[in-house]
Structure 1
């Protein structure tokens, strides 16, 4: 694949698929429950990524989403509202928003040249103009970052780990092998810190 735009679209698709895979098979509680001290949760990550995609591959390039969700308001009634789903926000609605954001982004990438410029209204003015190419790279970076968060959260919820359903990228090993591996890492950490085992 030599076409840069096609390569970037391929990478974007892998990013979005990887994040959504982390939600497969979970009930409402596990989709929403905060797993870290800062409240990171799976559905919130999907909601957040949908929002940044809508912004950077929509509004920034003069192609805002047609019907933005209420949490896009300038003065949201909840802090950090894009990082979690309220009880009245269904998981289906959040996932649909995510799909729609990506469809809108794909249409933007298809319609514009990679050197098309825009401005990021929430960045300081001195940052100046950005290009579609830069925004695609930013979205790939951000989506992969949050997919990494989701990977850890999912592993903590039910042990599911890996890159995607058909390739986990992990060494083969049963529960005993992984427990022994983790113990070896713990011992190595103690030794490096000069602590007794």
Structure 2
């Protein structure tokens, strides 16, 4: 992924390209991390990179389900707390949540590709305080914009967390993950590899 979204020809390609770009930026914050590092919560809150990716996958699954009218509101297991959605559990791996995110993203992309009109109505779940009671429906277009917003917000969280874990930032991580040529960005290396190269 280059540092910018690709050129776009129309509204649909703009929305899907920017969503894909934000997804990739979130995913790359996990590049080179161990499961233990992906569980770290080095900021004042309880967010971890693994937990943010897990949440982003659930977010896409939720909103795609609303678009398809498969569900009417947030779904949660009886024994699951709000914090669990943002935490990489001891029995979960980073590879698993990255795979779940890729699967959720592919499903979203397939669903959006099959909808001819981005103005198609998406019913607003009722009875939940964070959804506006006076709005009966959003559009698929609105859902895509919201997914871009949500993914970008959590990508920013993940940037801060990753820098707190080992000092890595987005462009050196992208350079490492995608083998960008020097000299613009020195690709990120694990601390032990950096020390060995000196």
Tell me if TM exceeds 0.5: yes
Map of 1:18 onto structure 2: 25
Which residue of structure 2 lines up, in the alignment, with residue 30 of structure 1? 37
Whether the 8 Å contact between 1:55 and 1:64 is mirrored in structure 2 is no
Whole-angstrom distance in 2 between the partners of 1:129 and 1:75: 28
Which residue number in structure 2 is paired with residue 54 of structure 1?
61
Please, which of 33, 37, 47 is the counterpart of residue 40 of structure 1?
47
| Equivalent in 103, 121, 124 of residue 120 of structure 1 | 124
Tell me the SS of whatever aligns to 1:25: coil
Gap regions ≥5 residues in structure 2: 1-7, 186-198
Between stretches 122-131 and 45-54, larger displacement belongs to 122-131
Q: Which residue number in structure 2 is paired with residue 87 of structure 1? A: 90
Aligned-residue CA RMSD (Å): 2.4
Question: Highest Rg: 1 or 2?
Answer: 1
Deviations along 1:26-83, one digit per CA (max 9) or x if unpaired, are 1111111111222111000001111111112x12112549xxxxx9435343342210
Gaps of 5+ in 1: 66-70, 173-197
Partner of residue 131, structure 1:
139
- TM-score (normalised: structure 2): 0.74
Are residues 1:102 and 2:110 paired? Answer: no
Question: Which secondary structure state, in structure 2, belongs to the residue aligned with residue 130 of structure 1?
Answer: strand
Distance in 2 (CA, whole Å) between partners of 1:74 and 1:86 is 14
Q: How many residues align?
A: 164
CA contact (8 A) 1:61 1:118 kept: yes
SS, match of residue 54 in structure 1: helix
Q: 2:22, 2:169 → 1: CA distance?
A: 15
Once the 2 structures are TM-superposed, how far is the Cα of residue 92 of structure 1 from its aligned partner?
2.1
Question: Which TM-score applies when normalising by structure 1?
Answer: 0.75
Give the secondary-structure state (helix, strand or coil) at the position aligned to 1:165. Answer: helix
Aligned 8 A contact 1:31 1:42 in 2: yes
Change (3 A) 1:156 1:8: same
Q: Compared with structure 1, are the counterparts of its residues 76 and 134 closer, same or farther at alpha carbon in structure 2 (3 Å cutoff)?
A: farther
Q: Which has the higher helix share?
A: 1
Once the 2 structures are TM-superposed, how far is the Cα of residue 91 of structure 1 from its aligned partner? 2.0
